[in-house]
Chains A and B, each alone.
Chain A
Amino acid sequence: MANLISEPTPLTVLSPIKNGDDGSQTFASLTRKYLQSLDIHEKSPMAKVPNTFLCRFFVLNDVFFEGSPGKVDHLKSKYLVFCCNFHGDLNTYLREFWQNAQQEAQKIWRHCVAFEQVHDAESFIDYIKKCELNTTIYFNGSTGLPLDEQLKALYLKQEFSQFACEKQGLSAEALFEAFQEFVERTRPADLTGPTWKPGQNTL
């Protein structure tokens, strides 16, 4: 796992989904159905997981068939794939994942092989690590700073652009006064707020 200072930490997890069905739908279909029912952006359950930069869940049906004369290979089961970038180390990230979104994790992974053995943060960390794939190339859309710093920066950038637009042409005194008001309102050093919400992706 690549983990360099000032870069986000990537994670790729492939968890085998149980073969078989619940009497009408396969466990893979049920997993996909649940994933597709999840909200995205601010309402995503992953917005509750601290320091998540971006993430994606999907169901991998099989290896891609590349046509003749290739050998036809198949996976032994379908997989739940979880990819994400986050800030910090893996143990902390997964521990906070469990602490903040335990119910969602249990629903997402409930049809995966052996997930019934996961009952606390430590066993969740063990499980994910067993399913982890080495990630060497990934989409890097972030600086790697803690999420609250990045959200605050995005918020400030948005607000300052607005400020610059509105206040252009003012005298130096008026501009200084307006800027003081701006600093008081936006509190640049305060990471707790005002700021963007986790999961927010547009202004």
Chain B
Amino acid sequence: MPDQHIDLNDIQGNIVKAYGRFGYPKARYIFFQFHDVEAGRNFIRDLLPLITTGRPWCKDQPPSATTNIAFTYQGLKHLGLPTKTLHSFPEEFSMGMKARADILGDDGESSPTEWDPIWHHDKYIHMFMSINAKSLEALEERYKKIQDLLKKSSGLVTQLRGHRDGQRDDLPYQEASAIFVDGKPTPTEHFGYQDGISDPYFKGSGGNPLNVVGGGKPTRGDPATLQGWEPLETGEFILGYPDETKELPIAPVPTLLSFNGTFMVYRKLHEKVKTFHDYINNVGKDFPGGPEAVAAKMAGRWRNGAPLVLFPTREEANAFAQEYEKARELAATSAKGKKRYEELRLKRTGFNFGNDLAGSRCPMGAHIRRANPRGCLEFGIKDAFATPGALDNRRRILRRGLPYGEVTNPLSDDGEHGVIFMAIGTSIERQFEFVQQQWINYGNDFKLSNQKDPLLGNHDGKDMFMIEGGSPDNPPFFCPEIPRFVTTRGGEYFFVPGLTAIRMIADNLIDPT
């Protein structure tokens, strides 16, 4: 489908732009409740001019701050959407994240009872808002504008409190920010991994065409080149367009409500940095390559972002990372620098696991191999499927979000620091929930029985993680008794309507008949 058939002016900007990577390292996530239908409609009508669309920024001066909104099922109900429309939403969305805890593996310390207070009440959160900004000043300025609009509702729309920051548990918003080093934002999270390197690339997204490498769906071509990949179908990520089955995705009615919209998962994930470092240090005593190699094997990438498949040794990875950083700085100043940077970028994304079927470089159970199998689920059987990505093209998710909090004491798991993780796709159940249940918290699809993702799995201290090795001088290694490194602190499922749909909700024009 040619790009011109996607109206990026009508699609919310956070769907097609990972703001953090576009120079918006500061973010604030705010949640609202409507106490009156008309007041709710008026509030979102007032917000409309502030909402950032997917319109390419090369056409305009980028804004200093962005704003996007999304609604829960309860929110749509409180905005007066017709019953027929409400009933046309998928079940997982109307149930909400807490009711899906068993599927998501949110148990023990990740149970909803342990989440931040804002998530404790049922039918409570109606609307999500994200503000991303180039600076803290721009963030505050946009936030103040929102507060002014909120005041107009005379208390009939309220901003919900109940986020924790380590000191308090009643904060009115969730703050998030890239981690700054020497005054500059970095793409790392609190465990030290570079994050968000490969994001799905789909038709009409308006992104850099080179992002198809590693971001698209695999062909049988060379994965290091553009021939190895094709853009995913738009309908995997935006409602109203054909998806990978060549059908229109199931969507709520009327069509104009769902057209150019999608679904979003919001999760606050706490990272236990002491547990993580203790573990890689302890296991690293016995593992060749030490703690850094253990960390790399768990993720499938070295912490500097270099993929294990292409850079099996730490020395190679470090040399590449240095060259990559240098090229990234030069890219802004010369055409030659830019060309080199783009070549090197492909080395972070242009690979699959076809030459590493036994997992001797990147373990079968490593995080990136689970979350995005890159067509490796044929397990080397020639033409097992009509297309190599037959089992994973429909399980892709757009990842958004930023780290939150600071690690003030690396010798403690306490405090508030982690990642605000957002997953975007046209089916929460088929994409996010499947990946979470089957690929993060289970291992059968990778021939790993019930092993879990070493980094994100809901471990109970009894799980193990196998590093396959594969030769006499590279024997298998078992990482034992993995503790839970990441716990859930809150989250919900949201519907992200297009701009026309938001206006129609505000104007009470949603009519499914």
- Minimum CB–CB distance for A203 against chain B, Å: 22
Contact string against A for B residues 241-274, beta-carbon threshold 8 Å, 1 for contact and 0 otherwise: 0100111100000000001000000000000000
Contact, CB under 8 Å: B9 / A62: no
B7 at the interface (CB under 8 A from A): yes
Q: Give the contacts of A16-36 with B (CB-CB under 8 A).
A: 19, 21, 23-26, 28-29, 32-33, 36
Q: Which residue of A lies closest to B53 (CB)?
A: A24
**With A19-B4, A67-B248, A72-B1 in contact, is A25–B242 under 8 Å at CB?**
no
**With A26-B10, A61-B259, A67-B247 in contact, is A32–B500 under 8 Å at CB?**
yes
Q: Which residues of B contact A65 (CB under 8 A)?
A: 242, 248
B168 at the interface (CB under 8 A from A): no
**With A61-B259, A74-B1 in contact, is A25–B9 under 8 Å at CB?**
yes
Q: Which residues of A contact B55 (CB under 8 A)?
A: 21, 24
B contact residues, range: 20 to 34
Contact, CB under 8 Å: A26 / B503: no
Q: Which residues of A contact B4 (CB under 8 A)?
A: 19
**With A33-B503, A36-B507 in contact, is A72–B53 under 8 Å at CB?**
no
Bound state CA distance, A142 and B242, in angstroms? Answer: 40
Q: Which residues of A contact B246 (CB under 8 A)?
A: 67-69
Q: Which residues of B contact A28 (CB under 8 A)?
A: 7
Bound state CA distance, A24 and B51, in angstroms? Answer: 11
Bound state CA distance, A36 and B247, in angstroms? Answer: 29
Contact string against B for A residues 61-83, beta-carbon threshold 8 Å, 1 for contact and 0 otherwise: 11001011100101000000000
Contact, CB under 8 Å: A29 / B507: no
Bound state CA distance, A74 and B509, in angstroms? Answer: 27
A contact residues, range: 10 to 19
Contact, CB under 8 Å: A29 / B2: no
Bound state CA distance, A44 and B358, in angstroms? Answer: 70
**With A36-B504, A72-B1, A72-B242 in contact, is A24–B9 under 8 Å at CB?**
yes
- Minimum CB–CB distance for B142 against chain A, Å: 17
B499 at the interface (CB under 8 A from A): yes
Q: Which one of A25, A26, A36 contacts B509 once the chains associate, using CB atoms below 8 Å? A: A36
B121 at the interface (CB under 8 A from A): no
- Minimum CB–CB distance for B257 against chain A, Å: 13
B5 at the interface (CB under 8 A from A): yes
- Minimum CB–CB distance for B234 against chain A, Å: 11
Q: Which residues of B contact A68 (CB under 8 A)?
A: 245-247
Q: Which residue of A lies closest to B7 (CB)?
A: A26
Q: Which residue of A lies closest to B1 (CB)?
A: A72
Bound state CA distance, A13 and B248, in angstroms? Answer: 28
**With A32-B500, A65-B242 in contact, is A21–B248 under 8 Å at CB?**
no
Q: Which residues of A contact B509 (CB under 8 A)?
A: 36
Q: Which residues of A contact B504 (CB under 8 A)?
A: 36
Q: Which residue of B lies closest to A22 (CB)?
A: B9
Bound state CA distance, A28 and B7, in angstroms? Answer: 10
Q: Which of A19, A61, A74 has its CB near the most chain B CB atoms (within 10 A)? A: A61
Q: Which one of A21, A36, A67, A72 contacts B9 once the chains associate, using CB atoms below 8 Å? A: A21
Q: Which residues of B contact A62 (CB under 8 A)?
A: 5
Contact string against B for A residues 144-158, beta-carbon threshold 8 Å, 1 for contact and 0 otherwise: 000000000000000
Q: Which residues of B contact A25 (CB under 8 A)?
A: 9-10, 499
Q: Which residues of A contact B499 (CB under 8 A)?
A: 25, 29
Q: Which residues of A contact B5 (CB under 8 A)?
A: 62, 74
- Minimum CB–CB distance for B499 against chain A, Å: 7
Bound state CA distance, A23 and B56, in angstroms? Answer: 11
Q: Which residue of A lies closest to B2 (CB)?
A: A74
Contact string against B for A residues 23-57, beta-carbon threshold 8 Å, 1 for contact and 0 otherwise: 11110110011001000000000000000000000
Q: Give the contacts of B477-513 with A (CB-CB under 8 A).
A: 499-500, 503-504, 507, 509
- Minimum CB–CB distance for A47 against chain B, Å: 20
Q: Which residues of A contact B500 (CB under 8 A)?
A: 29, 32-33
Contact, CB under 8 Å: B10 / A29: yes
- Minimum CB–CB distance for A81 against chain B, Å: 14
Q: Which residue of A lies closest to B49 (CB)?
A: A24
- Minimum CB–CB distance for A76 against chain B, Å: 9
Q: Which residues of B contact A74 (CB under 8 A)?
A: 1-2, 5
Q: Which residues of B contact A19 (CB under 8 A)?
A: 4
Q: Which residue of B lies closest to A25 (CB)?
A: B9
Q: Which residues of A contact B7 (CB under 8 A)?
A: 26, 28-29
Q: Which of A23, A25, A69 has its CB near the most chain B CB atoms (within 10 A)? A: A25
Bound state CA distance, A33 and B4, in angstroms? Answer: 21
Bound state CA distance, A107 and B317, in angstroms? Answer: 62
- Minimum CB–CB distance for B323 against chain A, Å: 41
Q: Which residues of A contact B248 (CB under 8 A)?
A: 65, 67
Bound state CA distance, A152 and B496, in angstroms? Answer: 49
Q: Which of B53, B60, B259, B500 has its CB near the most chain A CB atoms (within 10 A)? A: B500
Q: Give the contacts of A90-122 with B (CB-CB under 8 A).
A: none
Q: Which of B5, B53, B259 has its CB near the most chain A CB atoms (within 10 A)? A: B5
Bound state CA distance, A33 and B507, in angstroms? Answer: 10
Bound state CA distance, A28 and B503, in angstroms? Answer: 14
- Minimum CB–CB distance for B240 against chain A, Å: 8
Bound state CA distance, A62 and B242, in angstroms? Answer: 13
Q: Which residue of A lies closest to B504 (CB)?
A: A36
- Minimum CB–CB distance for B249 against chain A, Å: 11
Contact, CB under 8 Å: A26 / B9: yes
Q: Which residue of A lies closest to B4 (CB)?
A: A19
Q: Which residue of B lies closest to A24 (CB)?
A: B9
Q: Which residues of B contact A32 (CB under 8 A)?
A: 500
Q: Which residues of B contact A21 (CB under 8 A)?
A: 9, 55
Q: Which residues of B contact A69 (CB under 8 A)?
A: 246
Q: Which residue of B lies closest to A67 (CB)?
A: B247
The 16 listed contacts between A and B (C-beta, < 8 Å) are: A21-B55, A23-B60, A24-B9, A24-B53, A25-B9, A25-B10, A25-B499, A29-B499, A29-B500, A32-B500, A33-B503, A36-B509, A67-B242, A68-B247, A72-B1, A72-B242
11 more A-B residue pairs beyond the given contacts A24-B55, A26-B10, A65-B248, with a C-beta to C-beta distance below 8 A: A21-B55, A24-B53, A25-B9, A26-B7, A29-B9, A33-B503, A36-B509, A62-B5, A67-B242, A67-B247, A72-B242
Which A-B residue pairs are the 10 nearest by beta carbons?
A: A68-B246, A67-B247, A26-B9, A21-B9, A26-B7, A25-B9, A74-B5, A36-B509, A65-B242, A29-B500
